Amino acid sequence: MSIAESLKQVQNELPEGVRLVAVSKFHPNEAIEEAYRAGQRVFGENKVQEMTAKYESLPKDIEWHFIGHLQTNKIKYIIPYVTLIHGIDSYKLLAEVNKQAEKAGRTVNCLLQLHIAREDTKFGFSFDECRGMLASGEWKQFHNIRICGLMGMATNTDNAEQIKMEFCSLSKFFREVKDEWFSESEAFKELSMGMSHDYREAIAAGSTLIRIGSKIFGERNY
């Protein structure tokens, strides 16, 4: 199947209120251009250098979402153009994004990443760490970031029940955080969860942003 066909297939499955981030990491500009011609405008990347090179050479109406683990010393390179940073996994990172955004005169959209998988290798706050961070209130002094919601990755497993449970736990936590800290915020509305192998479970659990790579662009050659 071509990229355009795979893209259409995924898009046809999306209920209202769910948007697709086409994860183009490790794929060349030609692949992104094909998806772009088919109407896709939101792309996700997980390496600062790669995303910046693609931003510079591709059409300027593309929305670039950073979905990887962001190192503090590299934040400044994406600040001028990034649309949404999905993986804020520490207070320190949030503070640093705010600082760089302030320098650049921008307000940058961010999602807090929660660790919901069984694997230790994945990044993110635990629910309690996130509650503690929000309760401290220090983030309220950051005027150059906008917290738009939460992001998480389920365990990489074939066990659909496990995946469902993890997504539902994040969805429940989203409502808790929304009610407690962001009930007045129009911006706080995104729940980024679901990848090629588990996006259907994620949508059923309330995802608003699915991040799909291999199902659209084919396998990646690392």
Ligand X SMILES: *Cc1c(COP(=O)(O)O)cnc(C)c1O
Note the residues at the interface with ligand X (CB under 6 A): 23, 25, 46, 67-68, 153, 195-196, 211-215
Nearest distance in Å: CB 69, ligand X: 9
Rounded least distance, CB 108 to ligand X, Å: 18
Residues 6+ apart with CB under 8 A from 23: 43, 44, 45, 46, 67, 195, 211, 212, 213, 216, 217
Nearest residue to ligand X by CB is 213
Q: Residues with Cβ < 8 Å from 122, sequence gap 6 or more?
A: 115, 153
Q: How far is the CB of 114 from ligand X (least distance, A)?
A: 13
Which C-beta is closer to ligand X: that of 68 or that of 80?
Answer: 68
**Residues pairing with 192 in the sheet:** 151, 209
Least distance from ligand X to the Cβ atom of residue 210, Å: 9
CA-based nearest residue to 130, from 147, 155, 107, 108: 147
- The answer to whether residues 21 and 1 touch, using CB atoms and an 8 Å cutoff, is no
Decide whether 150 or 195 has the Cβ nearer to ligand X. 195
Of 149 and 213, the one with the shorter C-beta distance to ligand X is 213
Q: Which residue, 88 or 142, has its beta carbon nearer to ligand X?
A: 88
Q: Cβ-count burial of 136 within 10 angstroms (0-12 exposed, 13-18 middle, 19+ buried)?
A: exposed
CB of 99 to ligand X, least distance (A): 24
Structure tokens at 207: 């995802």
Instruction: Report the residue number, 72 or 214, with the smaller CB distance to ligand X.
Output: 214
